[in-house]
Structures are given as C-alpha cells and as structure tokens.
Amino acid sequence: MIIERSSEWKEGFTNRLENLEPWQNWTLYNMNYEIVKANLITDFYGLQSPKYLPNLTPLNHQLKVAETVIERMNGKAILADEVGLGKTIEAGLILKEYLVRGLVKKALILTPASLINQWVEELNYKFYIPAIPYKKNTPIEYYDVVVMSMDTAKKSPHKELIYAQDYDMIIIDEAHKLKNHKTKIYEFVQGLKKKFCLLLTATPIQNNVFELFYLISLLKPGHLGNYEAFQSSFSASKHSLEHDDYLRELVNQVMVRNRRQDTGIEWTNRRVQIIPIDFTKEEKEVYEMISELKNMCPVFSDTFSMITLQREMCSSKEATQLTLSKMREKCVELKEIEYMESVMQKLMALEMNSKAEKAYEIISQANDKVIIFTEYRASQAYLQDYLYSKGITSVLFNGKFSKSKREWMKQLFKEKAQVLIATESGSEGINLQFCHHVINYDLPWNPMKLEQRIGRVHRLGQEHDVHIYNIAIRNTIEDSILELLYTKIGVFEKVVGELDDILTAFKKTI
Amino acid sequence: MYPQQVHDYLVKFFEENECRILNNDGHYINVQLTIDMDKKIMNRPYYWKYLESINGEPNPAQLTLITDQNNLMEGGIKGEVVHFGSPRLSQLFQTTKELGAFVQMYEKVNKFEKNIILTPWLGVNYKISYYSDQTKEMLYSLGINLMTGNLIEEFQESLREVDLDPIMTEGVFHLPYIIKPIRALERLDLVIDNIVQQDDHTWAEEAKERWQKDQEVLEYFYTGIEKKPECYDMERKAMEEQYEARIKIEVLNGGLFYMK
C-alpha cells in the first residue's frame, strides 16, 4: 500500500518556531478544523454530491443511477436511460461525486458539436463544475474540465493534445456514435485512458447486437469476451441471437437503464399508430417503372441505389427527381435514356402526393402544433410549399443550423408557425415539449432514430398525451422497412430491455 | 450547511480578517476587503502589480454576498449568491485553511492566582484519507506534553474547556520544553502511522479483488494475441490508477499550547 505524506506543514511550523513567520489566528484555526470535520467523507458508500448542490433536486432514479455506477460498477458504465430522463444530470452527479471525493481532478467530455454549450452551461450552473468549451488553441493543460466535440477530438492536432493530458474521467454523450469500430472516433476513444468512464446513449443497439458488443468492448474490453467468443457463444448474427438471458445479465453489469414507467413520475401517454395508405394509380405506375429500372439499366443493378430511389418515391417526386436526373447522366445506351426520359416525364406529370395529403389531413384534424420528420431535404422544401398552399404556416429545421438559428426557429415554431418540418439531422438536442403531435413522414431504417425523434416531445415537462403518426405506403419498400424495424426492436428488447412504443401500440412478436 | 450557517461563517471569517462589514441584514452582507484579502481572493494579480508599479492609491474591492436570496429584506440587491458547494465558499474554506494552520496559545490566568506555571503541549490535527476507486476520510486530533511525552487523543475537543489567548497573561511563566516540538511532531507522526496500521483494511483487499477481476476480463479479451496493442497497456495503467489502494496523511493544522 502506498502512503503519501507531505512535509509542508512541518516546514511552516519550523518557520514559526524560528520566528521567521507569524503565528496565526485562533478563531480561523478552529473554523478550519470545524469545516474540515463537517465536510469529512466518513464512509466509502453513499453520495456526498447532493449536499453540495442545494439548488438541484435530482429525481430518485437519477440518484440511484449515480450510486449504482459508483458503488457497483466502479465508475465505468453505459448510462442508457430512455430519452428525456436526464442522463446529463446522472453524469453530472457522478462527476461531482468523484470531484468531491478527490478521485477525479481532470475530466474530458465528448459530445456532438451541437450539445457543447448545453453541457458547459449545465455543468457550470447546475453542478458548479468549472467546465469550458474547447476552442482552437485553448490551452487545455490549464483547464480541469473540458467539453469538446467528438469530431474535433479525433483529428490532429487536437487528438495528440488530448492524449498528452492525464484525464481521470471520460464522459461521452450520444455514445451510439461509437457503434462502428472501424471509425476514427472509435479508434480515438479506444486509445484514451479510461480510469472512470461514462457512455451516454438511449440507444445502445441501433441496428444489430454487435454495436453493443463494440460499445462494451470500448468500456471494458473482454466483458463480453473477444469477438470470436462473443459470436460463437451467443450464436450472434446480425438480427438474431441465442442465450439472450445470459447476455442480458452480462450487459446489466455495465449498463443502467431506466424506463419512463420505472421512474415513479407520471408520464403522459404515447399514442402511436401506423397509418397505412395507398398510392394513387398514377403514383403506383411510376413506382413500378422505377422498380423496373434495375432490369433496364446496369446503373441500377446495385440494390442500394434502387432502394434509395424507391424510398424517395415514397416521399416526394422532388426527392426522386433529384436522384433520378443524377443517374440519367450515367446512362449511355439510347434505350436506357429513352426509358429514363419516360419515367421522368411520368414522374413530373404527377399532380398529387398521397402521403402529403395524408399529412395535411392529420395536421388539420390535430388542429395543433405538429412536427413532421422527413429524410430528404427536397421533400422538406416541397412540404413547406404544399402546406403553404393549404394555408398552413411552417418553419424548417435541420442539424446544420447554428445554435442561434436553432433557437430562433424553435421560437418561431412556438409562437408563429403551426408546423415544424425537420430532417433527420435535426432530431438531436432540441426539446419541444410544447408540441404533442409527431408525423414520421418517412420511416428511417433504424428504430432508435424514431425513438430519438419522439423523444423531442415526449420528455420531462410534457403535459399532454403525445400522438405519433407513422405513415407507410402499402405494397412498397416501406413494407420491408416496417418489417425490419420490428425485427430490430425485437433484438433490442431481448438484450437491452423493453422499449416504449415507437411503431405501434401493438407488439409484434418475432 | 444551511444558509444561516453559511452567513455566520462569512461574517466571522471577514471579521477575523479585519474586513469591515458595511451591511448585514442576516441574509446578505456587504464587506470592504482589506488589501491582503483582495490579493488572496479576488484573483487580480495584474491590477495589484500595475498599482504597485505606478505607486497608485490602492482600492481594494467591496463584495456583496447573498446567503439567502429568498429572504432579502430590501429589493434590488445585486451580488454573488453564496451557498454550500458554491465556488466562492470553497475558496473561503481554502483561505481559512491557509490562515488557520499554525497557532501559539496560552491559557488565560486570573490575575489573583499566584505562581502559575504553564506547561507546553504540541497539538496536531491530522486528516487521513483512504483512496482506491472509493474514498473515506478520518480526522485525528493528538496532543503531546512537551515535558513528559504524555499523549492525549481528541486533543482539539479538550481545548474547548480552556480559555486561550495568543498572549501570555502578565506575570505568568511557562516551562521551557524538554522535548523539542519537531521531535514531538515526529512522535505524533509515528502514532498516526500506528493507528493506520492497526486499522481494518478490508477496503484495500476488496479494491484489489475488483482490480483482479477486471484484469482477468482484460486478459481474456487479448488471449492468443502475441503482440498486444498500445491500448492494452493503457487499460492496465487505467486499472492501476483506478484501484490501487493509497493512503494520504496530511496535517490540517496544529500548534503550541501552554496550559496549566
């Protein structure tokens, strides 16, 4: 065992004995003793941090998470609460606890760029942790708690700068961004020393169970065995696995997850439904012509571009047209070009968009604020035009907006417009509890994206029931998307735990 | 610490440091800092350097500290909100620690008492911290009689009964110590070592077990890999820092006490 002592006091005392420095004040001497005595951490267990945070009232589940992570998981964990339960508060409590106990001196927080300021503010104002946002040329060796974007951190020269520091704690927000072990950011985090480490994500599995394997291997390599062992012992393939009870047990040793219903807080209901609709005869014709393309032109032989086109056709002709004209340039044979021309012509001749009409119908019936999520910028613009022609005001939102523009759009939506039309990249880090209707105009491949979207409105502070409308066109690629979404939700629930409704209120068993 | 306790602490702290309290309604104070205190807590070395270089008129700051915002008697008071856990209070605790570390005190003696001779003591307050991935702290207050070498525990508590003053009462004498204070300090250090050694160190054993368990998991991950990557060594190092049991012994404060 290592015993550290300092001779500092002895030197000061010697100086006083030799009359080199004056003796000090008796009252301050006693105050010093009393304060240290009052702040003494007399037990290895229990949380000290709450008494340092009189203006913060953490919820019970948040305190419990902090305690579990520190006492049972030794400060290395995945915080996987459902969206909106306060993972940031939990991470703040844990960091504060380690700071108070003197176990952490330097900490690094990695987040998506859009969340940096939010983290800095929460840490400073809620937790009195002097965190600073990293900017180019910030001398990080002088700051104990630094918040930085993942994209910056993984690049030189920032990467080398970080490696040169000696961080005691690493916190990574939106940690599902590390799901792919072949990325630069994964490699970067792998090379960081992780004495204490928190990975925050509501969606530790987005597509397949290997994502969770890689996430845990980052936190605690070997906890799920190495790759080969993991694959063979769970017969894991992308969307299915065996021995899931045992795996779940292992996962729970390094992951805490609260669901809304476990928190003891009254949550408003989530009313989720799939709204199946049909194409018009004309739309159907174009869709089929597009599907036929793979037999006509070699450019479309790869399934990816085919699927993209089909999905776009399910969204809007504007989205489709953009891709289609790009593809046409790659065609060489006259026959192909002629066929493409005829598809384009039919496409441009389409006068109505069944999905948009349905969305309009839902908005009119709701007679309230509505958020529409679409996957395509072209559809976003189209929808704004279309709604405008129907006398409905809307604002656009996407992830590329600066912080002030985001705030401005949010404000406009709250006060002026009825509808907010957002693309996928807009669905993180904006909170819109004043809205209670969400239309998923296009379905993403990944169920967790749906959860993130819904989480924008269904979170702490929501006072009304929340209505979710998932529009899907029958007999198209959207059938397969729905099918796959069900399968992925099934894997998630087997390994991580139950999910709140995201597709429909009725569970489908796989 | 409740707002009232924080308030009393601030008032006492500034009074003891000769900073004039200009306003005090029980929920906030307005205080005129002395030059020394400004230098200690206002964090503006350049101002003072500049002022001294031009030989300017020093203008130490006034601070308004609000301890109970909800009960302010008058409106419109602007100031820094101070509560337990706030950076300002932590800073003042630290300053208290610096300014209250070394004392020399004499027991007060009634003028009519005759031929009083005071005995010298060394009193030291120790803080011991146990660290692994968890922490625990303890305070020990020890006193040693510099004539006899006699030891007392809970020394600080026993001083509560004694009326002490930094200046010896006139006409009173004290014995010169036989044991030199530095030797006595070394004796107390040994006593503390002994206390630490005798203590129950299951915590360290448990930390070691947690460490070993994690270590085994890590080794398993890299079985069969001949040349282990850099991050393997990194993980090992992180575990060492996380779990290794350490004990920190520090002297909080102490001094010479002359008592009957």
ipTM: 0.93
What's the gap in Å between the CA of B94 and the closest CA on chain A? Answer: 9
What's the gap in Å between the CA of B53 and the closest CA on chain A? Answer: 26
B residues 127-156 closer than 8 Å to A (CB):
127, 129-131, 133-139, 141, 156
Q: B130: which chain A residues are within 8 Å (Cβ-Cβ)?
A: 44
Put simply, whether B160 touches A (Cβ < 8 Å) is no
Q: What is the pLDDT of residue A510?
A: 38
Strands A270-277 and A107-111: unpaired
Distance (Å, whole) CA A298 – CA B227: 46
Contact check, Cβ <8 Å, A33/B125? yes
Distance (Å, whole) CA B256 – CA B166: 10
Please give the torsion angle defined by the CA atoms of residues A296, A299, A301 and A304, in that order, rounded to the nearest 10 degrees.
Answer: -130
Q: A222: which chain B residues are within 8 Å (Cβ-Cβ)?
A: 217-222
- Altogether, the residues listed in chain A come to a count of 510
Contact check, Cβ <8 Å, B182/A30? no
In tens digits, what is the pLDDT along chain A, a chain of 510 residues? 889 998 999 999 999 999 999 999 999 999 999 999 988 999 999 999 998 888 899 999 999 999 999 999 999 999 999 887 889 999 999 999 999 988 999 999 999 988 899 999 999 989 989 899 998 888 888 899 999 999 999 998 999 999 999 999 999 999 999 988 999 999 999 999 999 999 999 888 888 888 889 999 999 988 888 888 888 777 656 666 666 777 888 888 899 999 888 887 778 888 999 999 999 999 999 999 998 888 877 777 777 888 999 999 999 999 999 988 888 888 878 888 888 889 999 999 999 999 999 999 999 999 999 999 999 999 999 999 999 999 999 999 987 787 788 888 889 999 999 999 998 766 566 788 899 999 999 999 888 888 888 888 888 788 899 999 999 999 999 999 998 898 888 888 887 777 777 777 665 443
Q: Residue B94 — φ and ψ, nearest 5°?
A: -65, -40
User: Identity (one letter) of the amino acid at A121?
Assistant: E
Structural domains of chain A in order of their starting residue, each with its CATH number: 53-263 (3.40.50.10810), 270-276+354-495 (3.40.50.300), 281-349 (no CATH)
Q: What is the pLDDT of residue A506?
A: 60
Strand partners, A481: none
Strands A255-256 and A76-79: parallel
Chain A / chain B CB contacts < 8 angstroms: 198
What's the gap in Å between the CA of A265 and the closest CA on chain B? Answer: 28
Distance (Å, whole) CA B127 – CA A40: 9
Q: Which residue of B has its CA nearest to A67?
A: B134
Continuous H helices in A49-178: 60-71, 87-100, 116-121, 127, 150-153, 158-164
Q: What is the pLDDT of residue A404?
A: 82
Burial environment of residue A245 by CB neighbours within 10 A (0 to 12, 13 to 18, 19 or more)? exposed
Using DSSP's 3-state secondary structure scheme, residue A356 falls into helix
**Out of A29, A102, A222, closest to residue B221 by CB:** A222
Q: B19: which chain A residues are within 8 Å (Cβ-Cβ)?
A: none
Contact check, Cβ <8 Å, A128/B86? yes
Q: What is the pLDDT of residue A360?
A: 96
Put simply, whether B162 touches A (Cβ < 8 Å) is no
Percent of chain B with pLDDT over 90: 67
What's the gap in Å between the CA of A487 and the closest CA on chain B? Answer: 30
**Out of A33, A53, A102, closest to residue B85 by CB:** A53
Contact check, Cβ <8 Å, A27/B83? no
B residues 236-255 closer than 8 Å to A (CB):
237-238, 241-255
What's the gap in Å between the CA of A23 and the closest CA on chain B? Answer: 5
